[in-house]
Structure 1
Amino acid sequence: MRIGVVTFPGTLDDRDALRAVRLAGGEPVSLWHGDDDLQAVDAVVLPGGFSYGDYLRAGAISGFAPVMGKLVDAAKGGLPVLGICNGFQILCETHLLPGAMIKNAHRSFLCRDQPLRIENNRTAWTTEYAEGQVIRVPLKNQDGQYVADDRTLAQLEDEGRVVFRYVAGATHGPAGFEANPNGSRHDIAGITNEAGNVVGLMPHPEHAVEAGFGPDQPGEGTRTGTDGLGLFTSVLRSLVA
């Protein structure tokens, strides 16, 4: 299966995402922001970074890129799309996902290994996980606080569209490791659309796909670091289901 990864000016993690697709068993396809051709891919990843320098708002300018016109239409037609960090911000800016991302509550850049609980394993990107499973992937952002009005938050909760939630690290990291790293409403780390084909999350699963290079799992004695790979294997499985 062909999985496209879009590069915008200022994208940082496109090569990591392409590698994650390859390690999962897919065919990685590089897509350019200035093209309006999705090259017949079967799914798309919007990777992390600081597209257009985060000028205006994080992800705002990218929403007007030629490739996004095609992508928005394709996503509404069922194409699986994953937005990671800046990609999540772009999905919110294009209204493929509700809500918005603002500066972290502590007003500073954050970088750490982050425990997440899988709240919804029925999306195109999460079927390889168990509901309630806690995974650990890197988190790095400065505009990572997810906000939405009360009605939208209630709808997301009622419809089971919260996919990832920040959890405390008492048993998965140092004591006092606070659950919510950036002030996101309802401890939300990632959400999905109604159809379950579009998912956005702030943490970086593409940095946790290869043993020895991803985050430690405390108490296991050896480095595992592959908790993020399931997102990429999930979409490949969903495409052939």
Structure 2
Amino acid sequence: MEEQLVESNETRHGNNNTAIVFVSLYFLLLAFFIYLTSISVPKEDRIQKVIGSIEVTFSGEKVTPSYISEPNVPGSDLGLAQFHAELRQVFEAAIPLVENEVNEEGAQLLFRVPVSQLYVRGEVAYRENREELFSEVARILVKRASVQPTDVELLYDQSINLPKSNSLEGDLSVKRLGHLVSSFLDKGVAKRNIFIGLGEQGRDEVIFRFYERNAVTNLFFEEAPVQ
């Protein structure tokens, strides 16, 4: 009987020690995470973008993220901040976590989209599920251009050498750019608001750059005044 009591007491003490060690480890981990939280600097705008993209992707609803500021143009006009915010919303809804950049002055917004996200291999026309994306982009650009002259530059950065002048017509990247421009024109974007180009940085992507016309240096000679 005495041996059984001794074994029972030892078992009880062993369980108590295990519980103490478990609780100690729990509070140690808790203190560690509190410390990490205290020294971290969360990027609220990036978190909101990710949350907004996830909500749109899985719910199928167009959610206006909280980081969208009010238009800086009175009435129903589309201000620069709202213009950029709406473009981010439609691009991130179609292609979650798409890479985008804003220049230091805040007047230019750029999106980098992998070619594989827009086109099926060997096809000239973009994927059918991108029709809504480009329709929304065209609508927003037309609305902004009615307030402030705003252009879009389409740069096809391919992984192969640029085509020679005598083979432009048969080049796939040139055909894709032509189809994309035609799509924007059909959706109401003016010719004067679209610029295109080819690059050979090897990233195999299409770059969409939106900018106010007076915010960039002209790359071409000014037209001579009409006499």
TM-score for the superposition, normalised by structure 2: 0.30
TM-score for the superposition, normalised by structure 1: 0.28
Greater Rg by CA: 2
Higher share of residues assigned strand? 1
Higher share of residues assigned helix? 2
